[in-house]
């Protein structure tokens, strides 16, 4: 009965063209991303990929067919919208007896219906159609190029019928696999699916690739073999040889299990091909287990050098076309004792506290918005402030902390962009000053600001942010639950 149902279903579905509405490479694009394992890690992901001048970076996360929890995933997408983060959703079934269950068209229907109802932050709904399908363990115990190619064609029909905004991406293949009883060489896999279903390529809008430093996850970033981080170039050549034109490329997995420098050279010197949309290293946090060596954080939550390598990358501010969904209440990602529903959220609260001491940063909730702030607590830090900086990323700012409430004066000396000032006392916003211009807009004479009443904290954010995020007098100012305890937040 199940097979008959699939055939009837496919006969009833109208075929829509596999064409994304928006070319992600036609607008400013922040290619830097990260792979995460849990929806609760979204805030930490945004802090990493939108650091150092970045905005609208990417996050890859797996959606399993047995995890279609509407409340959980709605909060994830809404949080991504507020944090300026672009999701890449990789579809998966679930493991059974040592292999992942092979998906079918009915699974695609469930995924498409579920994801079509989500409040995507950007117009393009990026969906990767499963993972390393040239491994038998990833495809029900047997590699089947015909079944996968047919599934791609089905996916085009099913997803595009629900929304033309679905941006379908083929699975990243394992370029280090050989052809044997449990796997198929990746280039041979491309040849086989192209021979069996030549139209498979028309069914996807982009191609996912995995670019690990093989062999042994230890090769130099400069390696040019088909097993290193340039392996995707061999995939591009194979597709071109099969007569397929270039499409947007997504490096959804790569990783470096060592502490030596790697990511700066990889991002700045190797992954420069113009068709690359996103690079999402695997992975932000693994805890213990098989993936621990690739984690950017150790099992004891201390940061590895690889985290800092990505954090320090010079990034750009992306400008994707936003989705049309209006956000609903997202307080579950903001504050309160019952905030994040995931059981691993306590780890992220500890991680945030750890990075506060290392980077001098904290997450700060103002009303319903979470900001990542540099903390100016000493006299020297307050004196320097934001002077000389060229910009602030959205949801970022500087928090000035004082021992005693007073009408502390601020001025715009050496500032290069407008600021909003949020004046705070006792954990509550008491006043705001908006769009204060820099000296080059006031004839070289810096503005001087004094609050109307005594304050013990002042938050500086980019001009226009107060209106953008609806910050107002009376808003509660706090750290996310579980992060309190730092000296300068002890009063909350």
pLDDT at 11 over 50: no
Kind of pairing between the strands at 125-129 and 99-100? unpaired
The model's confidence at residue 29, banded by pLDDT at 50, 70 and 90, is very high
Strands 396-406 and 455-462: antiparallel
What is the pTM assigned to this prediction? 0.67
Q: What number is the average pLDDT over the span 212-228?
A: 94
pLDDT band at 395 (very low <50, low <70, confident <90, very high): confident
For residue 230, the enclosing domain spans 2-311
Contact call for residues 488 and 377 (beta carbons, < 8 A): yes
How far from each other are the two terminal CA atoms of the chain, in whole angstroms? 60
283: pLDDT confidence band, cut at 50, 70 and 90?
Answer: very high
Same domain, yes or no: 289 and 401: no
- What is the distance between the alpha carbons of residues 245 and 260, in angstroms, rounded to a whole number? 37
- 297 with 441, same domain: the answer is no
pLDDT at 13 over 60: no
- pLDDT in the model for residue 479: 67
Which pLDDT does position 141 carry in this prediction?
95
Question: DSSP string spanning 309-350?
Answer: HHHTS---B--PPBPSPPP---GGGTSSTT---STTHHHHHH
- Does residue 31 sit in the same domain as residue 110? yes
DSSP characters for 125-141? EEEEE-S-TTBGGGTTT
Q: Which of 162, 38, 33, 28 is nearest to 85 (CA)?
A: 33
Question: pLDDT at position 364, please?
Answer: 86
**Do residues 241 and 160 share a domain?**
yes
Question: Which pLDDT does position 337 carry in this prediction?
Answer: 33
- One domain, residues 245 and 122: yes
For residue 161, give the H/E element and its range: helix 145-162
Each residue of 435-452: pLDDT tens digit? 999 999 988 888 889 899
**Which CATH number belongs to the domain containing residue 83 in this structure?**
3.20.20.80
Looking at residues 115-127, what average pLDDT do you find?
A: 96
Structure tokens at 146: 């015909």
Same domain, 297 and 372: no
- Say if CB 76 and CB 36 are below 8 A apart: no
Give the pLDDT of residue 381: 79
> Does residue 96 fall inside a structural domain?
yes
Q: Are residues 301 and 378 in the same domain?
A: no
17 within some domain: yes
- The answer to the question of residue 48 being in a domain is yes
- Is the pLDDT at 201 greater than 80? The verdict is yes
Higher pLDDT, 150 or 339: 150
- Is a pLDDT exceeding 80 seen at residue 302? no
Does residue 388 or residue 405 have the better pLDDT? Answer: 405
Residues 365 and 305 in one domain: no
Is position 332 within any domain?
Answer: no
Query: Could you tell me if residue 307 is inside a domain?
Result: yes
Last residue of one domain, picked from the residues 311, 345, 368: 311
Buried-exposed string 85-102: b where 16+ CB fall within 10 A, e elsewhere:
bbbbbbbbbeeeeebbbb
Q: What is the reported pLDDT for 336?
A: 34
Question: What's the pLDDT at 284?
Answer: 94
Whether the pLDDT of residue 413 is over 90: the answer is no
Q: What does each C-alpha distance from 226 to 12, 34, 235 come to in angstroms?
A: 43, 23, 9
- pLDDT exceeds 70 at position 196: yes
Q: Are strands 33-35 and 448-449 parallel, antiparallel or unpaired?
A: unpaired
Domain for residue 347, yes or no?
no
User: Could you tell me which of 276, 347, 263 has the C-alpha nearest to residue 311?
Assistant: 263
- Give how many domains the chain has, as a whole number: 2
Last residue of a domain, one of 311, 326, 347: 311
Q: Do 188 and 252 share a domain, yes or no?
A: yes
The verdict on 390 and 265 lying in the same domain is no
Does a structural domain hold residue 196? yes
Question: Which of 277, 311, 345 is at the close of a domain?
Answer: 311
Burial tier of 373 (Cβ tally within 10 Å: 0-12, 13-18, 19+): buried
67 shares a domain with 174: yes
Predicted confidence at residue 15, as pLDDT, reads 38
Task: Concatenate the DSSP letters of all residues of 62-126 into one string.
Answer: EEETT---HHHHHHHHHHHHHTTEEEEEEEE--EETTEEPPP-HHHHHHHHHHHHTS--SBSSEE
| Residue closest to 71 by CA, chosen among 363, 331, 424 | 331
Residue 273 sits in the same domain as residue 376: no
Confidence of residue 310 (pLDDT cuts 50, 70, 90): very high
The average confidence (pLDDT) of the chain is 85
CATH code at position 473 = 2.60.120.1140
325-362 tens-digit pLDDT? 444 433 333 333 333 334 344 454 455 455 544 455 67
Does 346 fall in a domain? no
Higher pLDDT, 370 or 78: 78
Structure confidence at residue 127 (pLDDT): 98
């Amino acid at each position: 009965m199940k097979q008959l149902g699939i055939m009837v279903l496919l006969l009833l579905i109208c075929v829509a063209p596999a064409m994304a509405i928006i070319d992600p490479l036609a607008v400013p694009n922040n290619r830097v991303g990260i792979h995460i394992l849990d929806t609760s890690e979204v805030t930490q992901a945004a802090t990493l990929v939108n650091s150092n001048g970045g905005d609208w970076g990417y996050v890859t996360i797996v959606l399993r067919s047995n995890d279609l929890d509407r409340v959980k995933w709605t909060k994830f997408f809404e949080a991504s919208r507020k944090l300026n983060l672009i999701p890449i959703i990789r579809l998966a079934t679930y493991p059974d007896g040592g292999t992942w269950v092979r998906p079918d068209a009915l699974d695609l229907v469930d995924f498409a219906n579920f994801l079509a109802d989500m409040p995507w932050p950007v117009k393009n709904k990026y969906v990767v159609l499963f993972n390393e399908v040239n491994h038998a363990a990833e495809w029900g115990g047997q590699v089947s190029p015909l079944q996968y190619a047919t599934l791609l064609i089905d996916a085009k029909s099913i997803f595009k019928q629900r929304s033309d905004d679905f941006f379908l991406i083929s699975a990243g293949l394992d370029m280090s696999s050989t052809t044997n009883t449990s796997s198929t060489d990746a280039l041979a896999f491309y040849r086989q699916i192209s021979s069996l279903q030549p139209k498979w390529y028309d069914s996807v809008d982009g191609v996912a690739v995995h670019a690990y430093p093989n062999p042994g996850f230890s090769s130099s970033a400069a390696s040019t073999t088909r097993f290193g981080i340039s392996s995707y170039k061999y995939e591009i050549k194979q597709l071109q040889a099969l007569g397929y034109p270039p499409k947007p490329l997504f490096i959804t997995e790569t990783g470096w299990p060592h502490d030596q420098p790697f990511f700066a050279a990889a991002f700045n010197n190797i992954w420069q091909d113009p068709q690359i949309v996103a690079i999402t290293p695997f992975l932000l946090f693994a805890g213990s287990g098989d993936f621990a060596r690739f984690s950017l954080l150790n099992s004891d939550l201390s940061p590895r050098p690889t985290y800092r390598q990505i954090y320090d990358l010079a990034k750009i501010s992306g400008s994707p076309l936003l989705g049309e969904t209006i956000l609903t209440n997202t307080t579950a990602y903001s504050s309160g004792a019952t905030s994040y529903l995931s059981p691993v959220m306590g780890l992220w609260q500890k991680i945030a506290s750890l990075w506060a001491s290392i980077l001098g940063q904290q997450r700060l909730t103002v009303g319903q918005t979470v900001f990542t702030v540099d903390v100016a607590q000493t006299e020297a830090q307050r004196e320097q402030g934001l002077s000389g900086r060229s910009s602030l990323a959205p949801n970022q700012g500087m928090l000035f902390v004082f021992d005693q409430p007073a009408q502390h004066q601020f001025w715009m000396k050496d500032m290069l962009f407008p600021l909003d000032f949020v004046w705070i006392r006792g954990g509550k916003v008491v006043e705001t000053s908006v769009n204060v211009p820099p000296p080059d807009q006031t004839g070289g004479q810096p503005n001087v600001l004094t609050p109307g009443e005594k304050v013990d904290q002042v938050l500086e954010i980019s001009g226009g942010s107060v209106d953008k995020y609806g910050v107002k007098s009376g808003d509660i100012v706090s750290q996310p639950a579980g992060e309190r305890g730092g000296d300068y937040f002890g009063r909350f």
